[in-house]
Chains A and B, each alone.
Chain A
Amino acid sequence: MSRADAGAAVRSQSERSQDERNQHQTNQGRPDQDETAGLLSVTLNVNGQARQLDLDPRTSLLDALREHLRLSGTKKGCDHGQCGACTVLVNGRRVNSCLSLAVMHEGDEIMTIEGLGDPDDLHPMQRAFVDCDGFQCGYCTPGQICSAVGMLAEAEAGWPSHATADVAAPQVVLTDEEIRERMSGNICRCAAYPNIVAAIRGIAEGGTE
């Protein structure tokens, strides 16, 4: 399946979820307030497609993706910005979607693991994680992969890290120490770290791409 077809698959899945979402919103018990009072309209550009949602302002970007758009590839781990399982790319930058209000992302380009690739058309980073066995249970993996894609763009732009000896150096050499430091916002309870580092190193060195 091509990347465009993957987008179509995401769309059809999303269209199916439209009814579910309406049902979800109707069924959601909020005894303290009127069902629709205070909902705000927001349009997110998710994986290349504009998606209009009416949301309680409290809705995190993570919950908007998972519960309203039914894009459950993005995982909820700690829900407090400590584990990185919810990492998505917003306008190309990796962020914790659990610590983001969806209504603050009007018009933003959101890329989730579903947008990066699918089983028939894996993103090179997804392929590298498979090839290197960079996971065990897999729960942190979508966040690890989105984070790694964002991280490589940061390194490409010359951003220093805590592992960089001279922050003024114009270029970054992605040693294992650099990769580990830059990926420290993604926890893997199975401790697949050596293979995660290997997968990312392979892409950083252009081995798999």
Chain B
Amino acid sequence: MRSFTYERAADAGSAVAAVSRAGAKFISGGTNLLDLMKLDIEKPSHLVDISRLPLREIEELPDGGLRIGAQAANSDVAADTRVRTRYPVLSEALVSGASGQLRNKASTGGNLLQRTRCPYFYDTAAGCNKRDPGSGCSAIGGFNRIHAILGASSSCIATHPSDMAVAMTALEAEIELLDVDESVRRVGITDFYRLPGDTPHLETVLRPGEMITAVLLPPPPPGRQLYRKVRDRASYEFALVSVAAVVSVGQGTIDAARVAFGGVAHKPWRSPEAEAALTGRPATMATYRDAAEAALRDAVGQGGNDFKIELAKRTLCRTLAQAARSS
């Protein structure tokens, strides 16, 4: 690992000031950043430790929502009684990711910002526009079994690895950001992430120095929430495809639906097409299949991951059927 200097931020204001120097990065749980530093993929010259900032609380919001501090550990969010009862899709997504040890360290903000697990991003001998802009994409035409089928570009076909962020997308979470001038802004999670386009090294709309301070959950949407994850191993593995769904059924008809996919794109993939195909329609497999076809209409396989298109459709159908049954 390359050498770096280290400081522990005393408060949020000094944290954003400290990280605005060239080569500086925040560190919190470190479970992704330190891994990438060992592999010479992340090369910060200065680390600003924000893990002890007073941003660990999970608090009620006046509107009935929840404010999750950016330093709250993944395990604390997953185990929070309010999350488990009011936002079970978030708890389910969190416990489907990583291991118990990693969830105890990983922070909410860090989970949002974790980097892709594309093997070419990890292989410094391979071309990767995300790691080294302009060096090409070795995944295109390479081994691309785990790669994107939606929203990819000729520069990058990587996927976002988070489960948590997929559930937060279905819950229409907002990300609270503290800027270097100490102004605060909120960005909806769907707008927080970028598609790769020709700048796949830019993954979010974070400005230089800006820090995630909280995730705000609106009041829970009506209906049954479910997270389903399909992967190569039964545990401790990233998703090939995952679905976060919220489905409200009354008298056999779907009143409202939210659908987000994981493992299929450069960002958690909300599907307004699927939601439109579900709303006001009977809660039947034919409806689910229509929604799945609508969601994956623009999907493009890369060879190794062609199977993901059908897998995503079937995963959505099964998740919707289960949600509607228990709604």
Contacts and interface: CB of A to CB of B under 8 A. Distances in A.
A157 interface: yes
Interface stretch (B83-91, B136-144, B272-280): B83-91
A100 B30 contact: yes
Contacts of B22: none
Interface stretch (A109-117, A122-130, A133-141, A180-188): A180-188
B30 A104 contact: yes
B78 interface: yes
A161 B115 CA distance: 24
A84 B4 contact: no
A167 B234 CA distance: 18
Contacts of A203: none
A104 B28 CA distance: 9
Contacts of B91: 160, 167-168
B79 A160 contact: yes
Contact of A99 (B8, B31, B51, B236): B31
B80 to A, nearest CB: 10
A104 B84 CA distance: 30
B95 A184 contact: no
Contacts of A184: 99-100, 234-236
Interface in A153-209: 154, 157-162, 164, 167-168, 180-186
B200 to A, nearest CB: 23
A41 to B, nearest CB: 12
B35 A151 contact: no
B250 to A, nearest CB: 22
B105 interface: yes
Given A79-B38, A104-B27, A159-B75, A147 B101 contact: yes
A93 B235 contact: no
A104 B4 CA distance: 14
Interface residues of B, number: 35
Interface string B21-41: 000000100110011001000
B95 A162 contact: yes
B6 A40 contact: yes
Nearest to B29: A99
A96 B235 contact: no
A101 B30 contact: yes
Interface string A16-45: 000000000000000011000010100000
Chain A interface bracket (under 10, 10 to 19, 20 to 34, 35 or more): 35 or more
A80 B33 CA distance: 11
A154 B75 contact: yes
Contacts of A64: none
A58 B51 contact: no
Given A38-B3, A81-B35, A100-B30, A147 B95 contact: no
Interface in B90-130: 91-92, 95-96, 98-102, 104-105
A161 B95 contact: yes
Contacts of B236: 184-185
Interface in A75-98: 79-81, 84, 87, 93-96
Nearest to B233: A184
Contacts of B88: 167-168
A80 B38 contact: yes
A96 B106 CA distance: 11
B6 A103 contact: yes
Nearest to A100: B30
Given A33-B3, A160-B91, A167-B88, A84 B99 contact: yes
Given A57-B6, A161-B95, A162-B95, A84 B38 contact: no
A60 interface: yes
